[in-house]
């Protein structure tokens, strides 16, 4: 394009050529980190709508992986349109940009799930749905799956032959876990069912318990869908599966969708799964010749880190290998890194070309899932800091793991303080990235000792914070009066505040709060007050919502005042408010009482599901940011610290009762008569790889 246009001016020649194409073809871009792939996608989005005056914003769909990324994409598009309105040299461009700005709030820019939700609401009659359905988050869906599985099995295990066999072999509790697991793996099982492929791995004929479990699948799915219908809710997997079925089975819907949309742009394509890519295929008609909807996808197989959310990098790898051979596809690579300084790029190239090694002798499945390394070229011209990369090897004595972690956390806190005091680095410019936040308290303690402000982002279990744990423990005492561990934890919490000596005395006397115990008067007063609170709470629990019950408790115990006086007081108050909102949502959405909320939280903690602490209102927190490496994806910080590299262990095989295999279906773990896992050679249908 000879004339310079403002929406392409920030791109290099290679990026500009990709963004400016209006050719009727599908495009796939494999772009390394920092290569500007999202910038290219945004520029392409703008170019399509700026040069086609006859297209409305509905003509171009833009999809990315997270709500946060979608909001940022919408903001970047809006910012560029406002810039064009103010500065573009041609009146027609300013007029077109102004019209697009007016329609931008309605533009289909979002996640694949939000796109599917919008489609299902539009075609609700065809999908046989109430268009006002509510979308469950992952945690609510997990709780509903567990509840439905437990209720169905309890109702059917005496009347349904398959349920009887499953319970007799695996036991009730493990059978509930297996049924809930079947519901969790519907994205794998439903496409296999549609193609007539076995749901369970069948290297040899299925055993009787395996056959019974297989036959239970459709029954538990029907029970789950009935529970969703009664509540008018859908989970994220439902959004994908119902959209996929609708597009497969209804040609009229496909035709109307193709009349509405002309281009389908997808960012972070490496983080999709097979059902999502099949939805894209059905819309664009990849196997039908020219459908009128053209695909533009960008991704980086080296950045696929969401396997725990069903992302399947082999889908991207297969797409790249297959589509590069088709005549109406254009496949490109972007290798130039604009984000990182040259020494950092050099270190990454050196390290990861060894990690991403793929041998021709590897098994075909291994080759499909592993990624061939794509070297990066740094183009930043600024001078780096004197030592852009620091690799620190601490000489730790041969002590236990906790002492090693404390030594490492102490060094990090000292280094951050040095960066702040001697080198002028602001705490908000520093991020500590952890593989997981299981040991976050060690690093929090070190940062507090050095008076360094910090904020934990979307990481460790919300129910492990002190305030959430105290509120949950109170509910657990109400739900399970014989749980003396919960009773002791609640009595020791700031809500009551008895001493360790009092807890010991109570334990010696069977935890009877009314019993005669030789204690100081102040401690006896606390116990009498605790007994009074529990009695009143049990009466209120029968007639009030969980939120109303908790708000009464907070007022009676002045707990918020006590929490606010502790370190990170504002954060603690925000977490209390979040707990109350969560209790209200669960009470209203899933019809859950305090007993259900306790079960919900226990499921999350035992399943290692994560809920982040409630973000504080206002601007970005002026503090060191502590988060998982997953949570940091897409973010940038001038200073990044990655601890615990010496604690990385080799991957171990899963001990889950169900293991998903993308080629062969679900494998079910079998057990002997005393409940121990059978040897692998006694489980021919359980994969050894």
pLDDT tens per residue, range 81-137: 999 999 888 999 999 999 999 999 999 999 999 999 999 999 999 999 999 999 988
**pLDDT score recorded for residue 589:** 59
DSSP H helical ranges for 302-400: 313-323, 342-355, 364-369
What's the per-residue H, E or C state across 92-147?
HHHHHHHHHHHHHHHCCEEEHHHHHHHHHHHCHHHHCCCCCCEECCHHHHHHHHHH
Burial 57-68 (b: 16+ CB within 10 A, else e): bebbbbbbbeee
Cβ atoms 235, 141 nearer than 8 A: yes
CATH class of the domain at 401-457+620-647: alpha beta
- CA dist 7 and 80 (Å) reads 7
- CA dist 164 and 167 (Å) reads 5
Cβ atoms 458, 627 nearer than 8 A: yes
**pLDDT score recorded for residue 3:** 60
CATH class of the domain at 6-125+251-334: alpha beta
> Cα–Cα distances in Å, from 675 out to 182, 351, 660?
21, 44, 22
**pLDDT score recorded for residue 378:** 86
Q: What are phi and psi of 658, to 5 degrees?
A: -125, 135
> Cα–Cα distances in Å, from 510 out to 480, 491, 493, 495?
16, 15, 20, 21
Cα dihedral 548, 550, 555, 559 in deg (nearest 10):
-160
Mean pLDDT, rounded, of the chain: 84
Cβ atoms 678, 684 nearer than 8 A: no
Cα dihedral 117, 121, 125, 126 in deg (nearest 10):
-40
6-125+251-334 and 401-457+620-647 share one fold: yes
- CA dist 641 and 183 (Å) reads 39
CB neighbours of 120 closer than 8 A, spacing ≥ 6? 127, 129, 131, 133, 234, 239, 242, 243, 246
According to DSSP, the β-strands at 294-299 and 26-31 are parallel
> Cα–Cα distances in Å, from 443 out to 134, 274, 408, 595, 642?
39, 39, 9, 34, 12
Which sign does the torsion angle of CA 612, 617, 618, 622 carry? negative
Long-range contacts of 19-23 (CB under 8 A, 24+ apart): 19/43, 19/44, 19/47, 20/44, 20/47, 21/330, 22/47, 22/48, 22/51, 22/52, 23/330
> Cα–Cα distances in Å, from 363 out to 167, 662, 689?
38, 15, 10
Write out the H or E segment, with its range, that includes residue 422: helix 401-423
CB neighbours of 167 closer than 8 A, spacing ≥ 6? 153, 157, 175
Query: SS3 for 263?
Result: strand
CB neighbours of 40 closer than 8 A, spacing ≥ 6? 11, 15, 18, 19, 29, 31, 298, 334
Burial 302-323 (b: 16+ CB within 10 A, else e): bbbebeeebbbbbbbbebbeeb
- Other CB atoms within 10 A of residue 646 CB: 11
Domain 462-606 falls in which CATH fold?
PCRA; domain 4 (1.10.486)
Tokens representing residue 480 in the block: 């399970």
Query: SS3 for 438?
Result: coil
- CA dist 125 and 300 (Å) reads 38
For the chain, how many helices (H) and strands (E)?
A: 27, 16
Residues of the chain with pLDDT under 50: 1-2, 459-460, 605-619, 650-651, 689
Write out the H or E segment, with its range, that includes residue 655: none
- CA dist 676 and 688 (Å) reads 18
Cβ atoms 176, 150 nearer than 8 A: yes
- CA dist 626 and 455 (Å) reads 6
> Cα–Cα distances in Å, from 258 out to 100, 251, 291, 292, 411?
21, 11, 7, 7, 58
- CA dist 140 and 56 (Å) reads 37
- Domain residue ranges of the chain, discontinuous segments joined by +: 6-125+251-334, 134-231, 336-389, 401-457+620-647, 462-606
DSSP H helical ranges for 200-312: 208-231, 236-249, 251-260, 274-284
**pLDDT score recorded for residue 459:** 45
- CA dist 526 and 346 (Å) reads 63
**pLDDT score recorded for residue 475:** 84
Cβ atoms 493, 635 nearer than 8 A: no
According to DSSP, the β-strands at 430-434 and 665-668 are unpaired
Backbone φ/ψ region at 289: left (φ over 0), alpha (ψ -120 to 50), beta: left
Tokens representing residue 125 in the block: 């009659």
**pLDDT score recorded for residue 651:** 47
> Cα–Cα distances in Å, from 376 out to 206, 388, 629, 635?
49, 17, 21, 19
Burial 2-30 (b: 16+ CB within 10 A, else e): eeebbbbeebeebbbebbbbeeeebbbbb
**pLDDT score recorded for residue 501:** 85
């Amino acid at each position: 394009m000879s004339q310079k246009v403002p929406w392409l001016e920030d791109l290099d020649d290679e990026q500009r050529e990709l963004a400016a194409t209006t050719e009727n073809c599908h495009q796939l871009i494999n772009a390394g980190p920092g290569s500007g792939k999202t910038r290219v996608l945004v520029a392409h989005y703008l170019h399509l709508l700026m040069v086609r005056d006859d297209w409305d914003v509905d003509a171009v769909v833009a999809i990315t992986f997270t709500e946060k990324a979608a909001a940022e994409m919408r903001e970047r598009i809006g910012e560029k349109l406002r810039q064009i309105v103010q500065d573009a040299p041609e009146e027609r461009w300013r007029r077109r940009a102004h019209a697009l700005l007016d329609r931008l709030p309605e533009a289909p820019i979002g996640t694949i799930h939000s796109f599917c939700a919008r489609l299902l609401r539009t075609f609700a009659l065809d999908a046989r749905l109430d268009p006002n359905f509510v979308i469950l988050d992952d945690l609510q869906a997990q709780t509903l799956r567990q509840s439905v599985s437990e209720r169905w099995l309890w109702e059917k295990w005496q009347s349904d032959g398959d349920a009887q066999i499953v319970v007799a072999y695996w036991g009730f509790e493990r059978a509930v876990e297996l049924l809930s697991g079947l519901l969790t793996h519907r994205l794998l099982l439903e496409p296999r069912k549609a193609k007539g492929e076995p749901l369970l791995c069948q290297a040899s004929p299925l055993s009787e318990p395996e056959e019974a479990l297989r036959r239970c699948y459709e029954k538990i799915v029907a029970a789950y869908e009935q529970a969703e219908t009664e509540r008018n809710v859908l989970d994220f997997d439902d959004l994908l599966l119902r959209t996929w079925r609708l597009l497969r089975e209804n040609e009229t819907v496909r035709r109307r969708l193709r009349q509405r949309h002309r281009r389908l742009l997808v960012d972070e394509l490496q983080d999709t799964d097979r059902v999502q890519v099949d939805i894209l295929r059905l819309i664009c008609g990849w196997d039908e010749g020219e459908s009128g909807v053209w695909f533009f996808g960008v991704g980086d197989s080296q950045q696929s880190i969401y396997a725990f959310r069903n992302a399947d990098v082999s889908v991207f790898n297969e797409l790249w290998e297959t589509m590069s051979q088709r005549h109406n596809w254009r496949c490109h690579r972007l290798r130039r890194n604009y984000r990182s300084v040259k020494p950092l790029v050099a270190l990454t190239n050196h390290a990861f070309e060894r990690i991403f090694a793929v041998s021709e002798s590897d098994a075909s499945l291994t080759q499909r899932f592993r990624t061939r390394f794509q070297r990066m070229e740094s183009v930043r011209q600024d001078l780096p800091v004197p030592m852009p990369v620091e690799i620190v090897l601490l000489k730790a004595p041969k002590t236990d793991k906790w002492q090693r972690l404390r030594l490492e956390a102490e060094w990090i806190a000292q280094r951050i303080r040095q960066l702040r005091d001697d080198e002028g680095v602001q705490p908000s410019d520093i991020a500590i990235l952890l593989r997981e936040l299981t040991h976050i308290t060690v690093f929090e303690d070190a940062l507090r000792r050095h008076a360094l402000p910090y904020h934990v982002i979307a990481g460790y279990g919300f129910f492990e914070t002190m305030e959430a744990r105290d509120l949950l423990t109170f509910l657990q005492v109400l739900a399970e009066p014989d749980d003396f561990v919960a009773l002791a934890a609640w009595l020791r919490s700031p809500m009551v505040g008895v001493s360790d000596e009092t807890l010991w005395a109570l334990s010696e006397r069977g935890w009877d709060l009314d019993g005669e115990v030789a204690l100081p008067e102040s401690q006896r007063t606390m116990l009498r007050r605790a007994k009074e609170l529990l009695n009143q709470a049990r009466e209120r629990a029968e007639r009030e919502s969980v939120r109303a019950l908790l708000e009464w408790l907070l007022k009676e115990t002045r707990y918020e005042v006590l929490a606010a006086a502790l370190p990170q007081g504002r954060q603690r108050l925000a977490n209390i408010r979040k707990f109350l909102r969560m209790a209200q949502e669960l009470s209203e959405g899933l019809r859950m009482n305090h007993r259900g909320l306790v079960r919900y939280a226990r499921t999350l903690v035992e399943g290692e599901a994560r809920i982040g602490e409630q973000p504080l209102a206002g601007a970005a927190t002026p503090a060191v940011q502590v988060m998982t490496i997953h949570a940091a994806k897409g973010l940038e910080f001038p200073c990044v610290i990655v601890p615990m590299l010496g604690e990385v262990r080799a991957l171990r095989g899963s001990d889950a009762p169900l293991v998903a295999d993308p080629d062969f279906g679900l494998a079910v773990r079998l057990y002997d008569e005393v409940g121990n896992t059978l040897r692998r050679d006694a489980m021919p249908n359980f994969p050894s790889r």
